Amino acid sequence: MATRSELTAAAAGSDPATGLRAVRALRELAERLEALQVERARDQGWSWQQIAEALDVSRQAAHQKHGRRKG
Amino acid sequence: MFNRFTKAARESVTAAQRIAQQSGARRIEPAHLLGGVVESGGPGGDALEFVGLDQAHLDDGAREDPLDPQALAILGIDLSEVRGAVEESFGEGALSRAPRRSKRGRVPMSRSAKSALEHALRNATRLGHGWLDTGHLVLGVLDADDAPVRATLALADVDPAVLRREVERRIAAGAA
């Protein structure tokens, strides 16, 4: 198994396949955290406007992305 | 195409289908084919075992779920730690809630898996073999140059050139 430093070198280095895989995983993690936090914010009575401002997106974008989701 | 497959090669494709299904993938990918070869053995399976590529690496590479602990480790993120913190706040399994996927009966071959099979046939032809074994399958996957497979090999610390050499050696020994 490659060591952590070797992996880091691979991610920052010349192989886009490894680097892009890391980026994709990070994006997926961010998406899931966002869904959880938005859901909680709504449960606590936040408006879509407030959520949108916290995420630095438009109100429409926030609502479109999370508005139809429940549970 | 499949009539010249050896028993192990045929089993590899069947196993790849099953592995893809179980992992909830939409398509059979080249990494699933490698997983099938690992299960079915033959010269290809022996070579994969020799270079130390096992099902765990492949599961990781072929997995549809992109929340990928190895890839996050590259960035210095410990997914189990993040998961623990999130579950403390949101309850167990909170981070595992992936977008729902439809459970399909049969999973079709991806374009790159088809390309891997074509390359496998080409390798058999190039070597003058009238059959197609698991060794040819591995060569085909390598020739298809699939990005997830490349990443999986890199993360497992496997040099594709070394794997190729080990496969060719076993094919030659078997054909002699």
pLDDT in tens, B56-91: 788 755 554 568 888 888 889 999 999 999 999 998
Of A4-13, B33-42, B43-52, B88-97, give the lowest mean pLDDT range.
A4-13
For the segment B152-169, what is each residue's pLDDT rounded down to a tens digit?
Answer: 899 889 999 999 999 999
Tell me if B154 and A18 make a contact (CB, 8 A cut-off).
yes
Q: Of A2, A29, A36, which has the smallest distance from its Cβ to B94's Cβ?
A: A36
Q: Of A4, A18, A28, which has the smallest distance from its Cβ to B66's Cβ?
A: A28
| Min Cα–Cα distance to chain A from B153, Å | 10
Handedness of CA A57, A60, A62, A64 (dihedral sign): negative
pLDDT of B100 reads 40
Decide if B127 touches A, using CB distance below 8 A: no
User: What pTM, to 2 d.p., does this model score?
Assistant: 0.60
Q: Is the pLDDT of residue A12 over 70?
A: no
